[in-house]
Amino acid sequence: MSDPRSARGFVIARLPFGNTSLIVRCLTEQAGRLTFMAKGANRPKSPLTGTLDLFYLADFLYQPARSGEMHTLREARVLEPNLGLRQSYANLMAAQYFAELIETITEPGTPLPGEYALFAKAIIYLGANAVAWRAVERFEQRIVHLAGLGQAGDLPQAFHALHHAVPKLRGELLKLLPG
């Protein structure tokens, strides 16, 4: 059995697994996109209770999987809960859309310093400012550039070139934004 590893990152998705466990997806700078099994995280006395909410920045200690992509989460320590995001439904939706974009174009377990830095800046921005269409457009342009598609101006065309579908959340977000 290999030694536990640590990584710092954002919780970008969480799914219930059984009655007391969670599957948690995180974006980390060091290890890229990781998926954790957080056993017993929903138990009242679990040390993970309250540490795995969406867009929390945390330090994670995990046991790497022997095979596959599902690692076992041992510990999580919240560094920044990014509570400013929760003041606006549109900002929260924008953060979720940005997370879905990154998940769509990245491979699990691959270090992503550029994507991580872009996402971290976006979360800080959304925590302090009301989301605007220009910010969403800028994020899309940067993520397309980081994916190696150059200066593609149209996200749907760029995603079509990658054989990916644009996340459906984009349409819902656009309806919320003025203009």
> Are the C-beta atoms of 176 and 169 separated by less than 8 Å?
no
Look up the pTM and report it.
0.90
**pLDDT for residue 107:** 85
**pLDDT for residue 151:** 59
Instruction: Give the residues of the chain that fall short of pLDDT 50.
Output: none
**pLDDT for residue 50:** 87
Q: Which of 70, 84, 10 is nearest to 35 (CA)?
A: 70
Question: What domains are there in the chain, each with its CATH number?
Answer: 5-80 (2.40.50.140), 83-176 (no CATH)
